[in-house]
A and B are shown apart, each in its own frame.
Chain A
Amino acid sequence: MRKKNPLENRMNLPQRAVCWLLLGFFFLIMFIPMWNVIVVSTSTVLDSSASGIKLWWNSFSTEGYEYVFRVTKLARPFLNSLYVSTVATVIQVVLSAFAGYVLIQKELPFKKGITSFIMLTMMIPGDLTLISVYQMNKQLHLLNTYTGLIVNGLISGFSILLMRNYFTSVPYSLAESARLDGASELRIFGQIYLPISKPGLATVFFLEFVGKWNSIMLPATLITDQDKFTMPLMLRAMILNDASQSGAAQTPNNAIMATIVISTVPLLIIYVFAQRFLLSGMTLGASKE
């Protein structure tokens, strides 16, 4: 055995066995619940309400999915969520890029003031100004509107910082020489900074989309009209079986599981295609600098 490569120094067999066993346990404890959801969502009503360990189909059925679209009318909250999250995320990416660009200007008058004005907002946790946010939205007539869902939380200090970090990796001299050549600020921003910072834009886009798709507190505060429910609100109404809100009698288990699957699909698609952006952004969020 070559000792030079540290990876060559392995554990002995019993240690490796314990390692695999533990890892298998952690894997199963994560995997089994999710697998159970998939199986139950595609079982018949009868099977899904029977007790027992449901890890394989008795009989495969799509009636849970048919139920949620026919009876629960899930298309509406799904499209609401999709619309609100997409529009808000696109605007957020643009505005974060703007703000990031402002923050890297070296000879900007009042820059210090501007920087602290933006950074201070990061210290104001949105969830703790909840009641005032509710009142403000009431004053602006944004309760029960899509606009309300879109504009609240439209910019976050985190995404601004992320864009700023990407922009600082662009050599400032590049912008300076373009300026000397007479390029407009809009061109410098659009043709030098944005193309180089595509991974940053993607990271902000995917992270914020996930955050908005999953958002519970904001819609729970702003929305009472069931036509404007987003997926999390709808799912909650179904789970808590609140007849006054879901307007229906008890939702069958397979339909609830189907709703869980449907809420998850967009995120899984994002995870598959944008894994590296998500992971890099989330690791960045927890680094100290």
Chain B
Amino acid sequence: MSRVKAPKTPGEPVTWKKLKKNRFVYLMLLPIAAYFIVFSYYPLGLGLVNSVQDVKILGNATFCGLDNYISVLKNPQYSQAFLNALIVGVGTFALQFVWGLAIALLLNEVRSKVLKSVVQSVTYIPYLLSWSVVGGLWMMLFAPTGMVNGFLQAISSGEFTPIVFMSEPKFARAIMIFTGAWKGAGYYAVLFLAAIVGIDPSIYESASIDGASRLRQIFQITVPNIVPTMKVVTVLGAMGVLRNFDQIFIMGTSSILDKVRNLLYLIYTQGITQFKVGPATAGATLVLIGTLIISAVVRKVIRYDDTYED
């Protein structure tokens, strides 16, 4: 968001003439304001109200204070979902970060434009796709007759029994982390590459004159110079850690769900399938608070807000 403040114009009264002059602008604002009131502010208010109410399918809701919040905090399902979300979320982020950075650094060494754009496109395309596509694709690959088992069979000697990856709880989180990073690595690579392209070439020139090898330049010029982008990526990633729904909704088969069911998925099933509106909205509010806390902590740890101070 822009940090530039508009210059204040004190003492200018809001006159009828001014309002009238801007009537077209207000007319433009009308549908937007109406939309936001109905589809953003109203649900937010409704959620806050519901989170302190005992909502019943029949009959009136009654005020119950913080009971919903307490029941959520005490509910082991929620703490398990929090743990699952955290493990898969942080794992995915870390792998995707390293993976994307590696692609970006390697691509930067490629000089053929055609090759560069082919590799970039292929690595980026999964990011464009829906989780139903990426999840479906990997579930097929991990199926007993899928290609992963095909590879394992090809390299194994002797008797081979296919592994049913998608129903094996011990692989569940690893699969979510891997597929999550697979989908997003190309996107991070694009972000890192954009930052690399922006580095002042004269830095490399003087390093070359000083006789620094290319490898040394990569680690002592390229990497340090894209730290600001790494920080932005980290903060954005931190905000998404607890908010992964699509992947688990598609790939969470019943036999592995206990290992990967995350907060949003739990809230969805509780609130929409089981009509436990009160606890579900309280849970959603807690996720929002958790997200704010996590991103505040991450900002502090990586000294995000210092980066751009003049």
Residues of chain A at the chain B interface (Cβ within 8 Å): 3-4, 6-11, 15-16, 19, 22-23, 26-27, 29-34, 36-37, 40, 49-55, 95, 98-99, 101-102, 105-112, 114, 117-119, 121, 124-125, 127-136, 151-155, 161, 184-186, 189, 210, 213-217, 220-221, 231-233, 235-236, 238-240, 253, 256-257, 259-260, 263-264, 267-268, 270-271, 275, 278-279, 282-283, 286-289
CB A246 to nearest CB in B, in angstroms, measures: 13
Among residues of A, the one whose C-beta sits closest to the C-beta of B143 is A253
Whether A128 touches B128, Cβ cut-off 8 Å, given contacts A15-B215, A105-B22, is no
Q: Do residues B140 and A40 form an inter-chain contact, with CB atoms below 8 A?
A: yes
A219 to B3, CA, bound (A): 36
Docked complex Cα distance between A165 and B271 (Å): 38
State A118–B18 Cα separation when bound (angstroms): 21
B208 — which chain A residues lie within 8 A by C-beta? 3, 6, 8-9
Cβ contacts under 8 Å, A256 to chain B = 136, 140
Kindly list chain A residues whose C-beta atoms are within 8 Å of the C-beta of B149. Answer: 51
Within the assembled complex, what's the spacing in Å between the Cα atoms of A214 and B131?
A: 7
Number of A-B contacts (CB under 8 A): 289
List the interface of chain B (C-beta within 8 A of A): 1-3, 6, 14, 18-19, 22, 24-25, 28-29, 31-33, 35-36, 38-44, 46-47, 50, 99, 102-103, 106-107, 109-111, 119, 121-123, 125-126, 128-133, 135-141, 143-147, 149-151, 153-154, 162, 182, 185-187, 190-191, 194, 201, 204-205, 207-209, 213-215, 217, 228-229, 232-233, 236, 243, 245-246, 249-250, 253, 264, 267-268, 271-272, 277, 280-281, 284-285, 287-288, 291, 307-308
Given A15-B214, A129-B47, check contact A221 B130 (CB 8 Å).
no
Measured CA separation A80–B125 after assembly (Å): 23
Is the pair B271, A30 in contact by a Cβ cutoff of 8 Å? no
Partner of A7, one of B42, B111, B162: B111
Interface of A is mostly: helix
* Cβ A271 vs Cβ B125 within 8 A: yes
Chain B residue numbers with a CB within 8 Å of A134 are 271-272
A128 and B130 contact, Cβ closer than 8 Å, known pairs A6-B208, A108-B25: no
Also in contact, A131 and B132, with CB within 8 A (given A118-B36, A154-B39, A286-B233) = no
